[in-house]
Amino acid sequence: MTTFPDGFLWGAATAPHQIEGNNVNSDFWLAEGRVPGMERSGDACDSYHRYAEDMRLLAGAGLNAYRFGIEWARVEPEPGMVSRAELAHYRRMIDTALELGVTPVVTLHHFTNPRWFADEGGWMGERAVDRFRAYVEVVTGILDGVPWVCTMNEPNMLALMTMMARFAADPELAAQWQSPTVDEGVRPVLPDPDPRIGRRLVEAHHAVRDLVRERTGAAVGWTVASQALVARPGGEEKLKELQYVREDLYLEGAKGDDFVGVQSYSSQWVNETGIEPAAPSPDNTLVGTAYRPDALGIAVRHTWEATGGIPVLVTENGIATGDDGRRVAYTGEALRHLGAAIADGVDVRGYLHWSLLDNYEWGHWGPTFGLIAVDRETFARTPKPSLAWLGEVAGRNALGSGPASVQAAGGDHQGVADGVAQSHRVAVGRVGAERVVLHGGP
Ligand code: FCB
């Protein structure tokens, strides 16, 4: 029996660009129109208009928290021009969550930038930190009642995107864009993000942390892509080196925060030469990552250690699969590893599944991570059994008896048994996509 602490948050997560639809002022929207092979986000899940229905489904299933984001490109369509109507929209979202008894966890930046910000040089532009600060200052005005604020989503992935955007103008590099879903075969491992960009993002995070705290009283943190890197014998030194540049720089940047968001999907092996390239396997997920529900335990323990013991909120964990039984199996197993870390003393405050909805996965619609299916034409929502299952776990605040564990045990754990490590394909595709657009040029 795995139990979770009192007051544990149980919920699901989304990001504005992936669900709202028609974020036409975002740099990613521009990318979608330019990069060969990329699908468009278009109307996405039309959650811009249907957010209340989404939250009702979440709350109705028994979940008590919803992580969603505010889209900077909507709030500040031109530098210094603030849309009061958009702020009111996001305030309505917060109110809707609160009325439903759902704790809002709000992300201020989730990969996408306003086009004008990209044109100014993006995150390495001279005014980047000031621009972000000014945006955040405006947003703090609507965050009353929000107890958890994530300043930035996966700065370690964002650094990689920013780096790749330097090649934006190069058509040959643009042609190398890799789909996270439709390409076959072994993929190259993601490059390391440039630490100079990482340090700039840390600076941006620090520039807004106290501002948000003072003006809202929310717990403030950022969410880091946990790669659950594990050394093969002989790979220990290499592991340290890679961990720093890919993850720990950002976890160190979280020191002094109120919490740190852990986002975990899979794990990768490191040998003396580096990360082992992905090996194709029938157990891989729809984005080509290894089936590794144990990654969450590795991620949470490493994050706890590297931040010197900051409270952890699992802000994303999930699996791209068309088989909902497999989603339940993966999640049940991941929660068991999370519970073991908690039992060992890691202070974990909640678990937010990625994702509430099947959504636009940064260039593709194929990889389905959702607890709820969405008809792309009618926008009809169809909850999957995994939504009710997670709601039941939330209701019991425990795993281990009853139908949840029966279902979870029925899954295919071959990937774990084999210990097969894969590269994070979804990120490769996304990075490739960013190559051509973000921040508009070298
Ligand atoms: C994370 C992103 C999220 C989604 C999932 C699958 O890295 O934060 O937007 O793409 O991966």
Residues 439 and 125 sit within 8 Å (Cβ to Cβ):
yes
Is 99 designated active site? no
Q: What is the pTM of this model?
A: 0.90
CB of residue 434 inside a 6 A radius of ligand 1: no
With b for 16 or more beta-carbon neighbours within 10 A and e for fewer, the 298-333 pattern comes to bbbbbbbebbeebbbbbbbbbbbbeebbbbbbbbbb
Lowest-confidence region among 7-16, 43-52, 170-179, 418-427: 418-427
The DSSP secondary-structure symbol of 438 reads G
Sign of the alpha-carbon torsion through 422, 67, 71, 383: positive
Q: Express each pLDDT in 59-112 by its tens digit.
A: 999 999 999 999 999 999 999 999 999 999 999 999 999 999 999 999 999 999
CB of residue 352 inside a 6 A radius of ligand 1: no
d(CA 263, ligand 1 centre) in Å: 8
Percent of the chain exceeding pLDDT 70 equals 85
Residue 377: how many other CB atoms lie within 10 Å: 7
Structure confidence at residue 188 as a pLDDT band (50, 70, 90): low
Nearest in space to 273 (alpha carbons), one of 247, 234, 245, 244: 234
Residue 127: how many other CB atoms lie within 10 Å: 13
CB of residue 291 inside a 6 A radius of ligand 1: no
CB of residue 27 inside a 6 A radius of ligand 1: no
Q: Express each pLDDT in 241-256 by its tens digit.
A: 999 999 999 999 999 9
Q: Express each pLDDT in 114-138 by its tens digit.
A: 999 999 999 999 999 999 999 999 9
Q: What phi and psi, each to the nearest 5 degrees, are found at residue 285?
A: -80, 180
Please identify which of the residues 32, 76, 154, 333 carries the catalytic annotation: 154
The DSSP secondary-structure symbol of 122 reads G
Atom 5 in ligand 1: which residue has the minimum CA distance? 354
CA dist 226 and 263 (Å) reads 6
